[in-house]
């Protein structure tokens, strides 16, 4: 820890503050101190940590965790990850979905994005998520999620992934059947 950039920088700031309070000039304005800090920053870079890309096994583990915890919040997180994965949505695009933007079709789900980063003409974008014969089928999971919510939380103007859970929602177990 003693050789990290942040530790040396905070120590230099403390010394600089003490100098300023004592009536001396700030040591951090010194050219040599500034050059030393830049050199330390270059020599000791922060390591880059790469994240694992999402795949079906991660979604299955999220689903099993949501089913074990029996919490609506966990199932909501799983459904947001499933929608993002299946429709290639950005985080902001997933969170802006309202219940009126999701249409249940015989062949799957239709999502309407009112705003998107790539929507140049601001017309919105409609995409289809086809129904799968799987536990991870977006249509099945969305219908189950909507059935778990009380009517006032699943109104058309309400956001799908808004956090407003009533306490003790349902003692019945969550399962996407």
Measured from the Cβ of residue 83, the count of other Cβ atoms closer than 10 Å reads 23
Question: Helices 72-87 & 138-148, crossing angle to 10 degrees?
Answer: 150
Four-residue CA torsion sign, 22, 25, 29, 32: negative
Tell me: pLDDT of 55 over 80.
Answer: yes
* pLDDT reported for residue 88: 87
> What confidence tens digit (pLDDT) does each residue in 96-107 have?
899 999 999 999
What is the arithmetic mean of pLDDT over 145-160?
84
DSSP letters spanning 97-133 = -BGGGEEEETTEEEEEES--TT-TT---EEEEEE--S
Residue 103, SS3 per DSSP = strand
| Rounded Cα gap, residues 90 and 126, in angstroms | 15
Q: What average pLDDT does the chain have?
A: 82
Measured from the Cβ of residue 65, the count of other Cβ atoms closer than 10 Å reads 14
Retrieve residue 129's tokens: 């998520």
Residue 136, SS3 per DSSP = coil
> What confidence tens digit (pLDDT) does each residue in 106-151 have?
999 999 988 777 777 777 788 899 888 888 889 999 998 888 887 7
pLDDT-based confidence at residue 168 (cuts at 50, 70, 90): very low
pTM of the model: 0.63
């Amino acid at each position: 820890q003693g050789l990290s950039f942040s530790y040396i920088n905070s120590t230099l700031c403390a010394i600089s503050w003490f100098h300023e309070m004592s009536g001396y000039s700030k040591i951090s304005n010194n050219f040599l101190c500034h050059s030393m800090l830049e050199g330390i920053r270059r020599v000791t870079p922060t390591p880059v940590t790469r994240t694992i890309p999402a795949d079906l096994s991660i979604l299955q583990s999220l689903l099993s965790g949501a089913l074990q915890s029996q919490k609506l919040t966990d199932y909501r997180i799983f459904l947001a990850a499933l929608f993002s994965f299946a429709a290639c949505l950005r985080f902001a695009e997933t969170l802006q979905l309202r219940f009126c933007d999701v249409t249940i079709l015989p062949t799957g789900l239709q999502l309407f994005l009112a705003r998107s980063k790539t929507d140049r003409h601001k017309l919105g974008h409609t995409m289809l998520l086809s129904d799968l014969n799987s536990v991870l089928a977006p249509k099945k999971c969305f219908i189950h999620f909507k059935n778990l919510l009380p009517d006032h939380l699943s109104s058309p103007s309400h956001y799908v992934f808004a956090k407003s859970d009533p306490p003790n929602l349902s003692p019945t177990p969550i399962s996407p059947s």
